Amino acid sequence: MNLFERYLNMGRSGVESIKSLGRATMLLANSTTWGGPGSAGFADLIKQIHSVGVRSLSIIIVAGFFVGMVLGLQGYTILSDFGSEAALGTMVSLTLLRELGPVMTALLFAGRAGSALTAEIGLMKATEQLSAMEMMGVDPLKRVITPRLWAGLIAMPVLALLFSTVGIWGGAFVAVDLLSIDEGAYWGNMQASVEFYEDVIKGLIKSVVFGLVVTWIAVYQGYDSIPTSEGIGKATTQTVVISSLAVLGLDFVLTAVMLGGV
Amino acid sequence: MSSEQPYISIRGMSFSRGERLIYDNMDVDFPRGKVTAIMGPSGTGKTTLLRLIGGQLLPDSGSVMVDGHSIPELPRKQLFDFRRKNMSMLFQTGALFTDLNVFDNVAFPLRVHTDLSESMIRDLVLMKLEAVGLRGAHQLNPAELSGGMARRVALARAIAMDPEIIMYDEPFTGLDPISMGMIVKLIRGLNQALGLTSLLVSHDIEESCNIADYLCVVSGGKVIGFGTPEELLNEGNDEVKQFLTGDPDGPVPFHYPAPDYRDELLGAGGSN
C-alpha cells in the first residue's frame, strides 16, 4: 500500500466516522420525544425498564457489595497508618457516591444491558421486524428506540444509587464486623461529611449522563448494524468498547466541570 | 391491461446503490386489482423495487406514483399514514415480532392504529387467522411455527388493516409443496375476495405463471417484458423466453465475462 492510498484510507475512515456521528445524532433527535406514528406507550416503557433495570439488579448489587468491601479493606490499611480509621466511613461513601457508583454502574450496565439492547435491535433488523413495522405505518424509532432510550436514562441513576448504597453496607461489614472499627464512628463521620447536593446529586447527574450516553450508543449500534450474524456480533462488541471509553472520558470531563478545579 | 388508471405508475426512475446502477430510467405500470409477478435473475433488485414502491428507499430520479400519491415526495408522517391505510408487505422471513405470540402479532397493527375494543380486536384477529387456516394456533409463539405457518401468520397480519395493495417478497422460497400450495391458494383467494392489488417477487416461474395475471420481467435495470404469461411465452424477446423456459445459456450467457479460456490456461501463466 503506497502513501497516497494510506492517506486516502485515513480520509475515508474519517468521513465515515463523521457520517456515523451524524446518523447517531439524527437517531437521538428523532427518538427522544414520544408521540408520532404508532408511538410506544407507558406499558412499553415499564417493560423496558424491567428488562434493562430490574434484570441488571443482581450484577449491580453483587458488584457493589464487593467493591464496598474492597474499599473498606484498602481504606483501612491506608488510614490506619495515620491513625484515622474513624474516617473510613467518609472515605468509602464519598468514593462510591462521587466516582465508583456512577462509573462502575455505567460500565456494568454497558456490558449487561447495553450489549443486550444492541443484539436485540440488531436481530430485529436482521429478521426484518423493523422494516415490517415501517411498512405497517409504525415508526420503529418511536416504537422501539424511544422506550429503550428512556428506560436506560431512568434505570441508570437508580442502579447507581443502589450500587453506592450496597457498597457502603459492604464497607461497613468489613470495617465494623471484621476490623472492629467503632460503628458510631463509621456512620457518624459519614453523616457529618457527605453533603446531599455536592456528593449525592452531583453523582446522580453523572449517572444520568452515563445512562443517556450508554443507551444511546447501544441502540444506535443495533439500529445501524449490518444485519448479518457477523455484523451484529461486531456491533455488540462496539457497544461495550465505545460506551466504556465514553463513560470514562466523560467522567473526567464531568468531574472537572463539577469540581470547578479546571 | 384494464382501462382503469394503473395503481402504481413508475416513470423514468433511476436508483443506484453505491457505484452500481440498479434501475436505469425505468418505466412500468402495475394495474389495479390484479396479481402481477415481478421476475428476473437474482441480484436485479426485485426486492429493491418493492422497497422503492413502499418508500423505504428513495429513487435517485424519476417518479413513483401509488394511487395518485408521489411516494418519494410524501413527508415522513404522511408516508406512514399512507402505508397504514393502503399498503402491506409480506416479508420473505415473515418478520413476525418474536416477543409477541401469534394472536398479538396479528392484533399489533389493530391495537396501534385503531381504538377498537379488545373484544372487537379479538373477533377481527380470529377472523384473519381463520382466513389463513391458523385460528387454532393463536396461542403459539413465533418460534414454535414452521416456515410455512409463520408466513401464513404474517399474511394474516398483513391483511389485518384491510390494505389496498399487498407486496409479497419471495413468498414461495423455502417452502415444502403443501405449504407452497396453501400460500398460492391464499394469495389468489385474497386477491379475488378483497380485490387487492398484489405484487409478487418470485423466482418460481411455474407458480408465478399459475397465480399471476401479469408477469413483469426485470433485467439490467429495465423492464424487458410485461404481459400475461401466455403473451410473454409466445411473443417475448429472446431474453424473456430464456428466463421463462430456464435455458442455461442464451442472451444471458452461462459464463461470467472472462478473458479467453485458451489464453488463460496456456498463456504466459505464473503471474497469478
The enclosing domain of B180 has a CATH number of 3.40.50.300
> Quick check: helix, strand or coil at residue A106?
helix
pLDDT band for B269, please (50, 70, 90 cuts). Answer: low
Does residue B271 surpass a pLDDT of 70?
Answer: no
Q: Which of B149-158, B201-210, B232-241 has the lowest mean pLDDT?
A: B232-241
Structural domain includes residue A3: no
Structural domain includes residue B161: yes
pLDDT band for B119, please (50, 70, 90 cuts). Answer: very high
Q: Scan for cell 443502589, then name that residue.
A: A162
Does residue B148 surpass a pLDDT of 90?
Answer: no
Q: Which domain holds residue A77?
A: 36-259
Region B157-175 average pLDDT? 88
| CA–CA gap between residue B92 and residue B150 (Å, rounded) | 10
pLDDT band for B189, please (50, 70, 90 cuts). Answer: confident
For residue B53, what is the nearest residue in chain A, using CA coordinates? Answer: A135
| Amino acid in the structure at residue B29 | D
The confidence score (pLDDT) of residue A1 equals 67
DSSP designation for B18: T
Interface pTM, i.e. ipTM: 0.81
Q: Which of A91-95, A171-175, B37-41 has the lowest mean pLDDT?
A: B37-41
Question: Dihedral through CA B126, CA B131, CA B137, CA B138, nearest 10?
Answer: -30
Region B170-192 average pLDDT? 85
Structural domain includes residue A223: yes
Region A219-234 average pLDDT? 94
Region B159-163 average pLDDT? 88
The confidence score (pLDDT) of residue B177 equals 85
The bridge status of strand B69-70 relative to strand B222-227 is unpaired
Whether B89 sits inside 8 A of A139 (CB atoms) is no
pLDDT band for B64, please (50, 70, 90 cuts). Answer: very high
Structural domain includes residue A22: no
Does residue A220 surpass a pLDDT of 70?
Answer: yes
Structural domain includes residue B269: no
> Quick check: helix, strand or coil at residue B35?
strand
| CA–CA gap between residue B29 and residue B104 (Å, rounded) | 36
Structural domain includes residue A19: no
Region B174-194 average pLDDT? 85
The confidence score (pLDDT) of residue B2 equals 45
Residues in chain A with CB shorter than 8 Å from the CB of B108 are 136
The confidence score (pLDDT) of residue B268 equals 61
Q: Of A114-123, B17-26, B158-167, B240-249, where does the model show the most confidence?
A: A114-123
The confidence score (pLDDT) of residue B36 equals 92
Structural domain includes residue A225: yes
Q: Where are the alpha helices (DSSP H) in B114-202?
A: 118-131, 147-158, 177-194
Region B214-234 average pLDDT? 85
Residue B90 grid cell: 409480506
Distance (Å) of CA B96 to CA A70, B138, B155: 48, 13, 10
Structural domain includes residue B165: yes
Structural domain includes residue A6: no
The bridge status of strand B87-90 relative to strand B165-169 is parallel
Whole-number average pLDDT of chain B: 86
| CA–CA gap between residue A74 and residue A259 (Å, rounded) | 25
Short-list B43, B138, B56, CA closest to B100? B138
| CA–CA gap between residue B253 and residue B237 (Å, rounded) | 15
Q: Which of A50-64, A246-260, B1-15, B115-129 has the lowest mean pLDDT?
A: B1-15
A131 and chain B: CB distance < 8 Å anywhere? yes
Residues 6 or more apart in contact with residue B165 via CB below 8 angstroms: B7, B8, B66, B86, B87, B88, B196, B197, B198, B199
Region B56-75 average pLDDT? 90
The bridge status of strand B20-30 relative to strand B165-169 is unpaired
Residues 22-41 of A with CB under 8 A from B: 36-38
The reported pTM is 0.85
Other CB atoms within 10 A of residue B175 CB: 19
Region A78-100 average pLDDT? 93
Q: Scan for cell 479460456, then name that residue.
A: B261
B255 and chain A: CB distance < 8 Å anywhere? no
Max Cα-Cα span within chain B: 78
**Residue range A24-81, pLDDT digits in tens:** 999 999 888 887 777 788 889 999 999 999 999 999 999 999 999 999 999 999 999 9
* Signed CA dihedral, B196, B199, B202, B204: sign only: positive
- Percent of chain A residues topping a pLDDT of 70: 99
The confidence score (pLDDT) of residue B19 equals 82
Structural domain includes residue A204: yes
Distance (Å) of CA B51 to CA A28, A123, B90, B169: 25, 20, 12, 10
B54 and chain A: CB distance < 8 Å anywhere? yes
Does residue B131 surpass a pLDDT of 50?
Answer: yes
pLDDT band for B225, please (50, 70, 90 cuts). Answer: confident
Region B82-95 average pLDDT? 88
> Quick check: helix, strand or coil at residue A140?
helix
DSSP designation for B173: T
Phi, psi at residue A182, to the nearest 5°?
A: -60, 130
| CA–CA gap between residue B178 and residue B165 (Å, rounded) | 25
Does residue B222 surpass a pLDDT of 80?
Answer: yes
The confidence score (pLDDT) of residue A261 equals 55
Whether A136 sits inside 8 A of B93 (CB atoms) is no
The total number of structural domains in chain B stands at: 1
Q: Mutate which of A26, A135, A143 to test chain B, going by most B C-beta atoms within 10 A?
A: A135
| CA–CA gap between residue B25 and residue B38 (Å, rounded) | 17
Structural domain includes residue B195: yes
Structural domain includes residue A255: yes
> Quick check: helix, strand or coil at residue B45?
coil
- Compare CB distances from B56 to A131, A136, A143 and report the shortest one's residue: A131
For residue B161, what is the nearest residue in chain A, using CA coordinates? Answer: A136
Residues 6 or more apart in contact with residue B262 via CB below 8 angstroms: none
The total number of structural domains in chain A stands at: 1
Residues in chain A with CB shorter than 8 Å from the CB of B82 are 137
Q: Which domain holds residue B62?
A: 8-247
Max Cα-Cα span within chain A: 70
Q: Identify any residues that bridge with B28 across adjacent strands, giving them in sequence order.
A: B10
The confidence score (pLDDT) of residue B1 equals 44
Q: Which of A194-198, A236-240, B223-227 has the lowest mean pLDDT?
A: B223-227
DSSP designation for A160: H
Structural domain includes residue B122: yes
Whether A137 sits inside 8 A of B85 (CB atoms) is yes
